[in-house]
Structure 1
């Protein structure tokens, strides 16, 4: 049976999402982006994948975030996206932002990991083949490789843009000092750094902290990004589901935590952390939001974060988070109330 009947995007899709410019670049991102880290591997239902991709685009989500090793197994998420792209998305290619990354373990031997020119270029070639694309819109160095000079890693990103395999480049999880240096190198090469993808949530605020992650730069990552004119697109804004109502009464048997503790272990569901989440509930209710929507509005507050990446296991779950992309900004009183809630303990 063909699981891909002809798809036509909703004509009202762009009225349902707010878009923000990435730093000082000309690139605009939806305030909510869809990440394919989970639920797009070979063990997941293809019809559900298709339905989530369609629902996201129909609600103005133009950005789909991938990496070479998303799965399982490695490469499976890109291959899944490639199948859906061929069936549904080719007519809309110029309306989509598709990103991928390389930097973590991908294949055996000395050339399948890290930040070398050899690995990054080879990996992107493989990613393009899996997805059936001529280019990606954004290609990231997925992590700082301490064994490879930044000049080599950034030089590879510059080459990738000049070769037409990516339109923009980014980095992920670099600290403030390495980000400032990477931006300087790329600027001198003529390929500006467009995006940084750090982890950020109400419960993980390292990007606000000066000198975090052993940075030699006394500034916070956010301050460096502002100074360099680089946008930010944050991952895990819901702390892998902790910043929702899903775990307030225990761990459901059908949840990812109940089946696989790699991404949110039971240790992360400690009473003091759950107390903070419970304290957010009345603030969310006062805004007419769920806890998850409030958590997304919080990371997007004030405009310093360009976009937040969400994952989903169903269309219903996806649409619940996508709604935060067009929500009003938090007021000063609401920000203060959140800070007080986050100070709560069990």
Structure 2
């Protein structure tokens, strides 16, 4: 996998599939399995590893484990890697360990660098918008990290189109433009198409889509009785089975994928990559076989109009928010 894609109008290029260290790199997974996956990913051309301060479990452990891998395996290849981290969700108790204050972002970045044993990250994100702290303060903190040499580039995650316009203007006025946005985006989660992708194109920003497989929903794990099979249960996914109509729609999507010579996961990844502003799909993986299956998505045939229309029609019948609400 060598077809690297430009991030907006910046000088950053990402592999079409990047590896996120959200769930499978905490202390819940033996380090040898993590090492195997990281090394295999790098050997296959995955040069971007994405982290955040509270990835684990427990919080911070993914960065600590990745730091060990950096020391023991990847130190000679540091300049071939692009490492990112974030701050914005809860990390420690009290008002200074969450959201977007200058105090939190700068303190969190320092802690992340110590855990990973790095003197800088390549991209540092504001992980989510703060409803109280002014955007000027949050983006100003990102600017400070770049000027301190602790981040090469900066970006934002989950900001809507209006928030993105304001954040981009502030960053531009400070002389440290935002280059990348990390939104959730998948066949069954299309909020970015309601204005955000247009704004990103106008601002010269790229995107890296997280949860392109909808946390496993767009794989074969739910095609049986609607309950996840062979999957670690994440707290953000309902324990209840998917509604029968959603399972039927997933089976329809799986049929489209089979007709294309792909797995459902491969088609879902290729689908997000069809969007011009999306430079990379950010996946999670627990096994090298799973990683290889996901990486093969980039070799799929181009979508034709009929296929996209069938995907749209089937996706319209899958409401994951309603599923989650009904399971509460």
TM-score when normalising by structure 2: 0.93
Q: Do the aligned partners of residues 327 and 94 (structure 1) sit closer, same or farther apart at CA in structure 2, a change above 3 Å counting?
A: farther
TM-score when normalising by structure 1: 0.88
The alignment status of 1:287 with 2:272, answered yes or no, reads no
Structure 1 residue 281, shift from structure 2 partner? 1.8
Q: CA RMSD in A?
A: 1.6
Q: Do the aligned partners of residues 21 and 188 (structure 1) sit closer, same or farther apart at CA in structure 2, a change above 3 Å counting?
A: same
For structure 2, the 5+ residue unaligned runs are: 320-328
Distance in structure 1 (CA, Å) of the matches to 2:229 and 2:178? 43
The alignment status of 1:324 with 2:297, answered yes or no, reads yes
Name which of 138, 146, 151 aligns with 1:153. 138
The alignment status of 1:230 with 2:215, answered yes or no, reads no
Distance in structure 1 (CA, Å) of the matches to 2:302 and 2:71? 37
Q: Do the aligned partners of residues 144 and 345 (structure 1) sit closer, same or farther apart at CA in structure 2, a change above 3 Å counting?
A: closer
Q: Secondary structure at the match of 1:134?
A: coil
The alignment status of 1:48 with 2:21, answered yes or no, reads no
The alignment status of 1:244 with 2:229, answered yes or no, reads no
Structure 1 residue 271, shift from structure 2 partner? 1.8
Q: Which residue of 1 aligns with 2:179?
A: 194
Question: 1:53-202 alignment to 2 at 5 Å?
Answer: 53-202=38-187
Q: Secondary structure at the match of 2:179?
A: strand
Distance in structure 2 (CA, Å) of the matches to 1:331 and 1:61? 28
Distance in structure 2 (CA, Å) of the matches to 1:308 and 1:60? 14
Q: Do the aligned partners of residues 222 and 154 (structure 1) sit closer, same or farther apart at CA in structure 2, a change above 3 Å counting?
A: same
For structure 1, the 5+ residue unaligned runs are: 1-15, 210-219
The alignment status of 1:342 with 2:315, answered yes or no, reads yes
Count of residue correspondences: 318
Structure 1 residue 329, shift from structure 2 partner? 3.3
Distance in structure 2 (CA, Å) of the matches to 1:101 and 1:73? 16
1:81-121 CA-to-partner distances (Å, cap 9, x unmatched) read 00111111001101101000001111122211121111101
Q: Which moved more, 1:188-197 or 1:246-255?
A: 246-255
Q: Which residue of 1 aligns with 2:324?
A: none
Structure 1 residue 304, shift from structure 2 partner? 2.5
